Structure 1
Amino acid sequence: MLFLHEARGKFPVGATTFVTPARPARTIGTVKRVLPDGKLEPALKLEEVAFTAYYPANTDGARKGIDWVLRPMRDSLQGFVHFAGVPRWILWPLLYLFGSLIKVPVYNNAPLLDPRKVNAEKERKQWPLVIFSHGLGGSRTAYSQICSRLAASGKVVLAIEHRDGTGHACLPRSWNSEGDKSQPTPLWYLRDVDVTWEDGSDRPPTPFPLRTDQLVFRNHEVHTAYEQFCRFVKKESDVQLEAIDGAPIDGHSWSILDELSGLPPVRWDREVALTGHSFGGCTVLSMLSNETLPEYKPIPVTHALLLDPWLEPLPTPGPVPLLRDSSSNAVDVESDSSNTLVISAQADGKPSPRMLVINSEIFTLWRDHFPRLQEVVKAWEPSGNRIVTLIGSKHADFSDFPALPVVRSKASSTFLDIIGRLSTAFLEDQIDHALTEVPSQDLETKVVGVRKDGKPRRKIIGEVGKIIIS
């Protein structure tokens, strides 16, 4: 058995994967999936929502370790093959002989730790709520290091398993009105060549039409997960939420009320944080810059943590914070003569969510992307200093992949430690102080070669462990 690194923090971490039906089940968009026999079926069918909760745990009697590679292995293998576009025979020895042994060092289905027992002398009597959205090829366990780190600091993190064809593999089911479930149907990563739009259908008029529909799908998933989790914490009798492995859930630990305040152990009704990596960061920005879907209530988001956010699927200019007048849903956004977005103050006095972006070196050196990111962040953080670049890092360094046993390096551990420290500090409103504790420098680059398109390949001059603040 091979374990990932133990999460640094005050509390042991538990993990429970919840599933809940989508009510009603629906098809998102008009995109079709091409089946092996050439027939077409809707590609984005929302029938079941799944998410893994990482949280401070009561470990009494709990078993440590959950599978990092999703089971069954054959479906994960097919998903990775489809995502990577490599022959099956190359990946299967690595996945079966190596991946099958990897465990996440968290306590499976452990009860939630009662916050009153560890915060008796402090104001905090509830665990704050964080919702995490994964990137392309990701999963609910692919970012277990950062999710566990946040949980160990005293937060409940809901890592969504997006079943929109952006994960390498998932096994959605349909639920009938009595709660009976169908056999799971494997869904693997959807590439552009795997989908089509029938003639006459409403294909989104965007450069990334599949991603546009997937953003809508993800929006439904996040809201469904949030609402059903809140109902579970409130101990509503008709909530349909269960563990994906069929194990019993200690519902009492999740819903026990404080005797004095009457509050549940999870703070779901205010100061919620949204975070995501890559397309997950894109998901967060999409949700915060558009009206809440009519069938849901707004999530009370106060913090947006973006890890290497990918902006290309989003409309330009923007995205910008959604500003609502207290008497309408109008967005109050103007554009000046230089086409720079001007954001006016919110009419109802509610500030936009605070924002922090942690970027890899690769994304900061992306010439067409980074200037747009700077303009986007200005809309949320006019004072600046909210984009942090990790010198020497790559796009995958936010996930578990570079930190896997045997292949992990000192650099990958350094990146994850900085990401964990800054993320935790930001969510606890201590980011200004935390930034002073990490060595920083100005942005300076050098040419180190030529790219395939003939343009110079650049690299930031500096050491691993240092950051650039912009």
Structure 2
Amino acid sequence: MLFLPSVQGRFPVGVTTFATPVRPSRPIGSLKLRAPTHASAQPALRLEEVAFTAYYPADTSSTHLIKGLDWFLRPLAESLRGFAIFLGVPSWLLWPVVYLFGALVKIPAYPNAPLLNPMDLNAFPATQPSVSSQWPLVIFSHGLGGSRTAYSQFCSRLAASGKVVLAVEHRDGTGTLSMPRLWDVDGKSTSKITYYLRDTDISWEDTTTSKEAQPLPLRAEQLAFRHHEMYLTYTTFSKFIQNDPDVEFETIDSTEIDRQSWSAADSKGKSIIQFDRDVILAGHSFGGCTVLSLLSTRPEEGYQPIPIKQAIILDPWLDPLPSPGPIPISTSDSMPAHTTDIGSSKTSLDGITINTENGSSKALSPHPRMLVINSETFTLWKDHFERLREVISGWEPDGKSILTLVGSQHVNFSDFPVLPIVHKKGARKIMNTIGTLSLAFLDGKLDQCLEEEVNTVKMEINIVGVKKDGKPKRKLVGKIGDVIADY
């Protein structure tokens, strides 16, 4: 076996993938899959089942636990095809990577291990510092080409620090592969396979979603789809840990788990997972876009607000979001649309309404605190970075909200650069720094971290050549992993 790097942290990490059916299943948006002549076009996005992988502090006292979860989704033949479609290359070109290498790659975590009870840990105050009686809850959203395992290093780092992280598997055509099941009223399911969707796979039969009306119609509807998945993940998981008898909630492969460890409560009867307050959202790229969209949008009717306290956004991609904005909505405003009216400018995005008032003076309060960690490549994307600054000022007008990692690329927030054998130079240091900054922010110690734990440098740009289009090629001054704080 080939293991990804072990993560720093106090606790061993467990990993379990859960799924819950959506009944009745329903199409989201109006986009259709391109169909052969005379055939009936099917909805491009259909909500049938929600799945996510939980990374969490594990109780490893059982002798039956074996470390190692497959990083590539099974079956391998479908993973191979999914990556080929995403990368736009022939399957045979990736065959050696997937079958001879990918089959051996494991995440260094314990599959289906029981959740560690923090109260058990506090029984030994002499050997370990005490922890809260509840584990904080994090919900993570992946980027284009991502999956529920593609960010295992970041999710495991948070879990090893004492948090329960739910990495959503977005089944909106942004992942390389997903296998949702369609559930009928009798409890029977029919599996299907979906791959990465491109504009060429979609038809715009409704003129309101044409390319002229919406420059990124596919991404807009995928964003709306992700809203449903994020809310359903939170809602069904909350019911599961509260032992709600009506919620349909199983491991994705029907493996038996220690359910009592998940529904355990403290001496006051509170769940050992802190789901009813101070929830954390996190996401990378299109996942960062998803987080911003959620934070600037009132829940659709039927969904209760998620009590979000903080957000970590990794290299967010802003293009699918309406401009100007978005900016946060206040806690009192994050109610279903029919109950409130904040009276500010709005932009509709396929059934969701995003607050687009601009400028820090317009930011409504209270709202979640936010940290953005950017790659060098996205910071040097001048127009995008200026928009990012403008958007984030609505959450953090005092600055210190955008950090850039020198020498990093967009892919550095995922596991890809730290895969065994093929890992890139400096990738582990960058991943380490991402985890250190994220945890410092969540613990309210970011200023101290920037002063004492990481090397910070000023924003300086050198011209190092010329691009093919004749524009200057720029590079940040500093060593790989240095941190630039945008004030």
TM-score range, shorter chain: over 0.9
Residue in 2 aligned with 1:273? 280
**Unaligned residue ranges in structure 2 (runs of 5+):** 347-356
- Aligned match of 1:310 in 298, 317, 321? 317
Question: After the TM superposition, which residues 390-469 of structure 1 pair with which residues of structure 2 at under 5 Å, given as runs?
Answer: 390-436=405-451, 437-469=453-485
SS in 1 for 2:293: helix
Q: Please tell me whether residue 10 in structure 1 is matched to residue 10 in structure 2.
A: yes
- Aligned match of 2:327 in 320, 332, 348? 320
Aligned-pair distance for 1:237? 0.8
Aligned-pair distance for 1:92? 1.0
- Residues 298, 3 of structure 1: CA spacing in aligned structure 2 closer, same or farther, 3 A cutoff? same
Separation in structure 2 between the aligned mates of residue 325 and residue 282 of structure 1, nearest angstrom: 23
Residue in 2 aligned with 1:239? 247
Aligned-pair distance for 1:37? 7.3
Q: Is the 8 A contact 1:323 1:330 kept in 2?
A: no
- Residues 412, 37 of structure 1: CA spacing in aligned structure 2 closer, same or farther, 3 A cutoff? farther
Separation in structure 2 between the aligned mates of residue 36 and residue 44 of structure 1, nearest angstrom: 18
Aligned-residue CA RMSD (Å): 1.9
- Residues 263, 206 of structure 1: CA spacing in aligned structure 2 closer, same or farther, 3 A cutoff? same
SS in 2 for 1:164: coil
Counterpart AA for 1:265: I
The Cα offsets for residues 113-147 of structure 1, whole Å up to 9 and x where unpaired, read as 01111235546101000000000000000000000
SS in 2 for 1:318: coil
Q: Please tell me whether residue 357 in structure 1 is matched to residue 372 in structure 2.
A: yes
Q: Is the 8 A contact 1:31 1:203 kept in 2?
A: no
Greater CA drift, 403-412 or 319-328? 319-328
Q: Is the 8 A contact 2:159 2:165 kept in 1?
A: yes
Separation in structure 2 between the aligned mates of residue 321 and residue 340 of structure 1, nearest angstrom: 10
Separation in structure 2 between the aligned mates of residue 202 and residue 181 of structure 1, nearest angstrom: 32
Q: Is the 8 A contact 1:332 1:343 kept in 2?
A: no
Aligned-pair distance for 1:425? 1.5
- Residues 444, 225 of structure 1: CA spacing in aligned structure 2 closer, same or farther, 3 A cutoff? same
Q: Is the 8 A contact 1:13 1:107 kept in 2?
A: yes
Counterpart AA for 2:261: S
Q: Is the 8 A contact 1:332 1:344 kept in 2?
A: no
- Residues 457, 125 of structure 1: CA spacing in aligned structure 2 closer, same or farther, 3 A cutoff? same
Separation in structure 2 between the aligned mates of residue 388 and residue 415 of structure 1, nearest angstrom: 13
Aligned-pair distance for 1:390? 0.3
- Residues 248, 37 of structure 1: CA spacing in aligned structure 2 closer, same or farther, 3 A cutoff? farther
Separation in structure 2 between the aligned mates of residue 127 and residue 247 of structure 1, nearest angstrom: 24
Residue in 1 aligned with 2:351? none
Counterpart AA for 1:46: L
SS in 1 for 2:19: strand
Q: Please tell me whether residue 330 in structure 1 is matched to residue 341 in structure 2.
A: yes
Aligned-pair distance for 1:203? 4.2
Q: Is the 8 A contact 1:64 1:105 kept in 2?
A: yes
Greater CA drift, 428-437 or 189-198? 428-437
Identity, % of aligned pairs?
Answer: 54
TM, length-normalised to structure 2: 0.91
Separation in structure 1 between the aligned mates of residue 434 and residue 283 of structure 2, nearest angstrom: 13
Residue in 1 aligned with 2:292? 285
Q: Is the 8 A contact 2:408 2:481 kept in 1?
A: no
Q: Is the 8 A contact 1:334 1:341 kept in 2?
A: no
Residue in 1 aligned with 2:383? 368
Residue in 2 aligned with 1:48? 49
Q: Is the 8 A contact 2:142 2:284 kept in 1?
A: yes
Residue in 2 aligned with 1:159? 167
Aligned-pair distance for 1:194? 1.1
- Residues 222, 359 of structure 1: CA spacing in aligned structure 2 closer, same or farther, 3 A cutoff? same
Residue in 2 aligned with 1:20? 20
Aligned-pair distance for 1:200? 4.6
**Unaligned residue ranges in structure 1 (runs of 5+):** none
Aligned-pair distance for 1:238? 1.4
Aligned residues: 462
Aligned-pair distance for 1:417? 0.2
- Residues 203, 411 of structure 1: CA spacing in aligned structure 2 closer, same or farther, 3 A cutoff? same
Aligned-pair distance for 1:38? 8.0
The Cα offsets for residues 426-454 of structure 1, whole Å up to 9 and x where unpaired, read as 12222221122211111111112222332
Separation in structure 2 between the aligned mates of residue 82 and residue 409 of structure 1, nearest angstrom: 24
Counterpart AA for 2:367: S
Question: After the TM superposition, which residues 247-258 of structure 1 pair with which residues of structure 2 at under 5 Å, given as runs?
Answer: 247-258=255-266
Aligned-pair distance for 1:69? 0.3
Residue in 2 aligned with 1:187? 194
Residue in 1 aligned with 2:353? none
- Residues 252, 364 of structure 1: CA spacing in aligned structure 2 closer, same or farther, 3 A cutoff? same
Q: Is the 8 A contact 1:242 1:249 kept in 2?
A: no
Separation in structure 1 between the aligned mates of residue 372 and residue 100 of structure 2, nearest angstrom: 36
Q: Is the 8 A contact 1:134 1:277 kept in 2?
A: yes
Separation in structure 2 between the aligned mates of residue 345 and residue 413 of structure 1, nearest angstrom: 37
TM, length-normalised to structure 1: 0.94
